Structure 1
Amino acid sequence: MPIPTTVSTSTPVAEQGKHVFHITGFSKHMGMGDHDDDGFIRSGNFKVGGYDWAIRLYPDGSFKQWKEYISVYLELMSINVKKVRAAYDLRLVDHSTGLSSSVHKAEPRMFNSRDGSRFAPQTPLFMKRNELESGGYLRDHRLTIVCIVQVFKEPQVSECELRPKIKVPPSDILQHLGRLLETGEAADVTFSVAEQTFPAHRTILIMRSPVFMAELCGPMCEAKTQHVIIKGMQPAVFRALLHFIYTDSLPMMDELSADDRSEMIRHLLVAADRYAVDRLKLMCESILCEELDMQNVAVVLALADQHQCNMLKDACLEFMSSSMDDVVSTAGYVELQRNCPSVLVDALVKMIQWFK
């Protein structure tokens, strides 16, 4: 049985903003010093995701040993904020084309306004000044920095709901095959059983019975065999055999009396053995085993012996061992004694072995 399954979905929630910071007269900002001299220029505060941010620029580099570089940082300006998860992209505008190109980009990371993690990136090596001048980023002493910030908040999780189910109906292939047998549509072979005719389909028969395969497709049959005469079988039994071959089930026998039904099952066992339909044979054996009584056990024993139904034969012998006195007075036992004496000898030997 399928396990009930519920589904929820987590969706990232992010707010994105962009700030453009123009620095005019860039050359006049040179010589401001480094980090120790507070030699930086800061943009106006801009808000993204409910937090204040700013761009900090060191024209002479934020450390003396890197004075040939400019240092650019994104800075979290909100006070007493411990955890802000954000991604950023610091870009420079090429004034010859008007397009911006990324210089430093980072995936989401944590910002804390109380320590050094409020700055990003964690490197002063943003760009060398000579590359800044040769790359078209300085024009008329004007530098433009673009910062794109994406702030991630708590993910949005949907309420749990049952996973949608598509109900698949049970297989109905056997019903279709049963109707095919009933209507005879597209039949390519017919059987005559005691002057009754049964249309059938060669492919289904050879698929279900190796005997039918040999008879309909083997080297001894004619290539265009379309009509087969069945001897030594009653029409009702052959009809029941075909029903099982097409539907893998026994036909309804409600209209038969108990004795007639038992006789039909015995005949069907013989037919199943004749055409090597093994599952049908076992089903008949099982039914006969469940319905054993003093009146039929001898008849069933003879049948089991004749058609190599060893499990059914053992069941008959075990049944007879417990009520032999009653069995010997039946007509079936007399018939068995007259026609199959060897079976009785085997039965007596086994019963003696059981009693030892």
Structure 2
Amino acid sequence: MEGSDVTFNIAGDKFQAHKLVLAARSPFFKSKFSNELEPNSTEVTINDLEPKVFKALLQFIYKDSLPEEVEPTLIVKLLAAADKYYLNRLRLLCESHICKGVSVKSVAKILALAHIYKATELKSVCLKLTAENLAAVLETDGYQQQKDECLSLQSELLKAVAAFEESSHSIGGAMSLSVWAQLSDGGGGGDTSSRHVRQRTT
């Protein structure tokens, strides 16, 4: 790359870039170039990204776009990179892509990812879909896995379901108590905030 002044070593693959461009786009790189690297250092090794992920990351930084054809697994890895490198617009682009593939079967796992990587728009979509299809979501393997790994989501799920339940009452719908109990007790009975939400909706 013409005029480049830094080379990134990603699992043996080399990528040339410009410190000024990266620092302008990412607070992470701005801090790294200002405080961590020696003034004359021209190579940076990154061990937690795959070459194809870093290549897509550079494309976003330089062109403000993503590759035309992006695999779902790559988008998830880019979402993680967006969180690490403080690239809020990249986070939004990744959220938009992932939202298109959210389904009852996948929503629990995607919700957990959205929570981990602070993807608020994606999280909102997942919570809404879960609330509207709670009984089916509770039966998925994804929900069974994420409820134990991310118990902090239980109270947020209950709040989303409570809001949906409240709107359902206005058109004559209601959720069965057994479904409420399954969700409320899913965290092992220790979530007092979950019980509080449940009491407000009965």
TM-score, normalised via structure 1 length: 0.44
Query: Are 1:236 and 2:46 counterparts?
Result: no
> Which residue type is aligned with residue 186 of structure 1?
G
CA contact (8 A) 1:211 1:276 kept: yes
TM superposition shift of 1:215: 0.7
> Which residue type is aligned with residue 202 of structure 1?
K
Q: Say which structure is richer in strand.
A: 1
Query: Are 1:312 and 2:122 counterparts?
Result: yes
CA contact (8 A) 1:302 1:336 kept: yes
Unmatched 5+ stretches in structure 2:
167-202
CA contact (8 A) 2:8 2:15 kept: yes
TM superposition shift of 1:312: 1.6
Helix, strand or coil for the counterpart of 1:199? Answer: strand
CA contact (8 A) 2:76 2:94 kept: yes
Alignment-derived partner of residue 195 in structure 1? 12
List structure 1 segments (4+ residues) > 2 angstroms apart after TM superposition: 328-331
Unmatched 5+ stretches in structure 1:
1-183
CA contact (8 A) 1:190 1:197 kept: yes
Alignment-derived partner of residue 209 in structure 1? 26
Q: How many residues align?
A: 166
Helix, strand or coil for the counterpart of 2:36? Answer: coil
Query: Are 1:273 and 2:80 counterparts?
Result: no
TM superposition shift of 1:271: 0.7
> Which residue type is aligned with residue 190 of structure 1?
T
Counting only pairs closer than 5 Å after superposition, residues 17-36 of structure 1 correspond to structure 2 as none
How far apart, in 2, do the equivalents of 1:201 and 1:220 lie?
16
How far apart, in 2, do the equivalents of 1:275 and 1:309 lie?
14
TM superposition shift of 1:233: 1.6
Q: Say which structure is richer in helix.
A: 2
Per-residue displacement from partner, 1:246-273 (whole Å, max 9, x unpaired)? 11110132xx6xxxx1221111111111
Which structure: larger Rg? Answer: 1
> Which residue type is aligned with residue 332 of structure 1?
G
Alignment-derived partner of residue 93 in structure 2? 283
How far apart, in 1, do the equivalents of 2:109 and 2:142 lie?
5
Helix, strand or coil for the counterpart of 1:341? Answer: coil
How far apart, in 2, do the equivalents of 1:321 and 1:295 lie?
14
TM superposition shift of 1:340: 1.0
TM superposition shift of 1:189: 0.6
How far apart, in 2, do the equivalents of 1:202 and 1:228 lie?
11
CA contact (8 A) 2:5 2:42 kept: yes
Helix, strand or coil for the counterpart of 2:35? Answer: coil
Query: Are 1:221 and 2:23 counterparts?
Result: no
How far apart, in 2, do the equivalents of 1:194 and 1:236 lie?
10
TM superposition shift of 1:197: 1.6
Root-mean-square deviation (Å): 1.6
Per-residue displacement from partner, 1:225-245 (whole Å, max 9, x unpaired)? 211111222211111000111
Per-residue displacement from partner, 1:199-229 (whole Å, max 9, x unpaired)? 111121112111111111x233211121111
CA contact (8 A) 2:9 2:43 kept: yes
Query: Are 1:344 and 2:182 counterparts?
Result: no
TM superposition shift of 1:278: 1.3
CA contact (8 A) 2:132 2:164 kept: no
TM superposition shift of 1:195: 2.1
Alignment-derived partner of residue 151 in structure 1? none
How far apart, in 1, do the equivalents of 2:9 and 2:148 lie?
34
TM superposition shift of 1:186: 2.4
Query: Are 1:247 and 2:63 counterparts?
Result: yes
TM superposition shift of 1:349: 3.0
Helix, strand or coil for the counterpart of 1:249? Answer: coil
TM superposition shift of 1:348: 1.9
Helix, strand or coil for the counterpart of 2:8? Answer: strand
> Which residue type is aligned with residue 127 of structure 2?
L
Alignment-derived partner of residue 196 in structure 2? none
